[in-house]
Amino acid sequence: MQDLESVQGKVFNIQGYSIHDGPGIRTTVFLCGCPLRCLWCQNPESGTMEPKLFFMAEKCVGCGKCVAACPNGAIDIVDGKVKTDRSRCNACGACVNPCPVEAREIVGETKTAGEVFKKVRQDELFYKTSGGGVTLSGGETLMQPEFSIAVLRLCKEAGIHTAIETCGFAKWEVFSKILEYVDLVLYDFKHMDSAKHKEGTGVGNELILENVVKVYHEAKKPVAARVPTIPGYNDTAENMHALGKFITEKMGMDVKVHLLPYHHLGESKTERMEQEVKFSVDTPTDAHMEELRAIVESYGLNAVIGG
């Protein structure tokens, strides 16, 4: 068997001092690749495994150094504005260092589980004092099962609390193997109606709901339900009642519900990839979030707004 530390995976960010991805202070490792295509995706750079070029137009001073540096002739200055022809860009990174104002960045790289573990261990003291640990997020944790298992095993063997954030869309054989090394599952509930789920994410919710019941009853893992709350999509009383009913009937009263208000971070990332922002809605009001929370709590569940 390959030793755990040398297993490789694709990672687009490692964020320390995270307080929204599980209990205590955590390090969140964001993995590349996702089987869903949520309209409101907050991490559009994570959809595929390939690295991506970010261009921060607001920093650019139009010096043209990147144009000269690109081996593929992908960059041009048109009417004083720098444009990258994404069909010619292979994210080689040659334009990053010549830029004097750090307006260009490659997001997504190959790392070994050992490298990730070393980074996670740096904050071990904070985990101990705050009840925190490591959280694998994405993208989708289940898309890179061997790498996820290697990182989680290394952490668990070092006594570090482990959590995964997941959309739950994977074969149970894959999911169940990862769960052996997981202390807490942060599970996304995007819509309780399968047709609406497909409309917003590209897939129905049958497998996802089947899996979450297995996570809770078969694998016997603690589950926190995470509901990205998207105005005009899933922020209805009907959807919240369906959620409350599902959790109380199919799972248990210890499942805490987190209602996560939509925010605009994903839009600026889409702009950094020089793509058109196709989805944008207002952030839900505090009063509306409270109404939704009250509906979930009417089922006797503990519901909070935020992570």
Q: Which is nearer to ligand SF4, 67 or 295 (CB)?
A: 67
Least Å from the CB of residue 278 to ligand SF4:
23
- Binding residue (CB under 6 A) for ligand SF4 from 18, 84, 112, 205: 84
How far is residue 95's CA from residue 88's CA, in Å, rounded to a whole number? 13
Show the site string, 9-28: x = touches ligand SF4 by CB under 6 A, - = not. --------------------
Distance (Å) of CA 178 to CA 31, 171, 222: 15, 11, 14
Examine residue 257 and tell whether it contacts ligand SF4 (CB under 6 A): no
Q: Which SS3 state, helix, strand or coil, does residue 270 take?
A: helix
Give CA separation, 114 vs 64, 118, 119, 178, in Å: 39, 6, 9, 17
Does residue 64 belong to the site contacting ligand SF4 (CB under 6 A)?
A: yes
Residue 62 found at the interface with ligand SF4 (CB under 6 A): yes
**Does the protein bind ligand SF4 through residue 68 (CB under 6 A)?**
no
Count of residues that bind ligand SF4 according to CB under 6 A: 27
**How many Cα atoms occupy the beta-carbon half-sphere of 25 within 13 Å?**
13
The answer to whether residue 53 forms part of the interface with ligand SF4 (CB under 6 A) is yes
The residue range among 94-102, 107-115, 176-184, 266-274 that interacts with ligand SF4, by the rule CB under 6 A, is 94-102
To ligand SF4, the closest distance from the beta carbon of 102 in angstroms equals 8
61 belongs to the binding site for ligand SF4 (CB under 6 A): yes
Cβ–Cβ < 8 Å for 113, 150 = yes
Given candidates 34, 103, 178, 227, which one binds ligand SF4 under the rule CB under 6 A?
103
H-state helical runs in the chain: 65-69, 113-121, 124-130, 145-157, 172-179, 194-201, 206-217, 237-250, 265-272, 286-297
Dist CA 242 CA 198 (whole Å): 17
| Chain positions contacting ligand SF4, by CB under 6 A | 53, 60-66, 69-70, 72, 74-75, 82, 84, 89-95, 98-99, 101, 103-104
